[in-house]
Amino acid sequence: MCQHNIISNNDLVRKGISIIALQEPTIDANRYTLASKDWILIYPTLHRKTDQSTRSVTLIRSSIKSDAWKQLDFPSNNVTVIQLRGEWGKLTIFNIYNDCHSDETI
């Protein structure tokens, strides 16, 4: 309910938020999460390719041009990586879920 509330109301859009890094997202029976039309969902590279649970997703505003960012591959369902490009250079964002019961992600 909390995730749905954050993503589906327009508060973040009105405040100019362009990227959301979620950890432990709600995943449905088909192994997907939800987002409104204002967001593009980015799953980890291994999402649905292994039996492991997806523990991080990143959302990027749909108003950001698709040629201004790309997803970078990372071999974990706990990490989502995107790279933004602009006149200022490149910015790489890692959304890392660290399980407190193991150091597998590290």
Which amino acid does the sequence have at 77? N
Q: Can you say whether the dihedral through the CA atoms of 100, 48, 74, 6 is positive or negative?
A: negative
Radius of gyration of the chain (CA): 14
Per-residue model confidence as pLDDT tens digits over 14-23 = 888 899 999 8
Per-residue model confidence as pLDDT tens digits over 68-96 = 999 999 999 899 999 999 999 999 999 99
Residue in 72, 82, 36, 33 with CA at minimum distance from that of residue 53? 33
SS3 of 3, please? helix
pTM across the whole model:
0.86
The DSSP 8-state label assigned to residue 68 in this structure reads G
Per-residue model confidence as pLDDT tens digits over 54-64 = 899 999 999 99
